[in-house]
Structure 1
Amino acid sequence: MSLFNVNQTVASKARNTSTVPIKDKQFLIVTDSGDIFYDSDGTRVQLTDIIVLDTESQRLALTSPFEKFYFVKGSGALWRYNNSSWVKYSGGGSTSVDKVLSVASWSDNKQNIEISGLTADQNGIVGLSQSVSMEEREAAETASLYVCGQQDGSFTVAIGGDKPTCDIPITVILFG
């Protein structure tokens, strides 16, 4: 199991798997069209409907769930009902960690980010920090950043586009 990846891109890149390769458990948020894509078992699927529920009790009380994604606000868990069973993709409790993708730390278009306590199979979300400037946001967008690996204590971010010319602040949310 790898990091629960969320990346921002544009529709033309999300639909072109040679530009943004399929990576299992990767979510793509498409900024120009508002679409969401999810990579699973070598396939990229466009998510057209996520059902939001307030509690886990509501999810468990569903007698005929649709084969869709379900987000439970009370637990913060993302589930999918698939082939008559519930599959949990994330959930319950989270920790937020602020980090910086440093211009000086790119090596072979990759950068390792160390996070104390991170495990190789822990789920989470990586995104731009709320404090990101316009320059940093544009650099992140043209870089087409994506998570390409995870191990105990760190994960690796790779560049799918242009190398950033400034540091980029990121926030990592780790699910418990």
Structure 2
Amino acid sequence: MNLPTWITVSRLAGVPFLLVLLAQPDDRLRWISLGIFLVAAGTDWLDGYLARRLDMVTDLGKFLDPLVDKLLVLAPLLMLIQLGQIPAWGVFLVLARELAIAGWRVNQPKISGANIWGKLKTVTQILAIALLIAPPTAFSPIAQVAFWVAIGLTLLSGALYLVPQPAAQESNA
């Protein structure tokens, strides 16, 4: 494994700490949870940047990166359901989209990276989760709006993955 792939895998290390801290009814621990989540989410940008910059893009990295992203997003969402901050059916939509796209990708001849809609979906999910992780009184109305915007972009990006793309036109010039 190369450096960007190690960074991708290391992102998972914060998830158990995040879940344990989120389960505690303490505002200070919620802020610490937010910090852990943002550092882990920031490594998503870092591993991709390094992979491209150092010419270390691999099929393993293209496979692991979205998988780790899904775990980093779904773990706190499940805890936020337990805390009563978001409805389970909203998270079910995220999970359904992720499973559908994962199944679709398995049948593709070549592993492809995320498109712009997938990246926008990830950024909005991270923003919404960050706002939801912060102590409830800090950003509650904004966090709820961000959550539903993230759900909408999650569904849109999933639909766009599944829509058949026209074959590239070959030029005779």
The structure in which a higher percent of residues are strand is 1
TM-score, normalised relative to structure 2: 0.27
TM-score, normalised relative to structure 1: 0.27
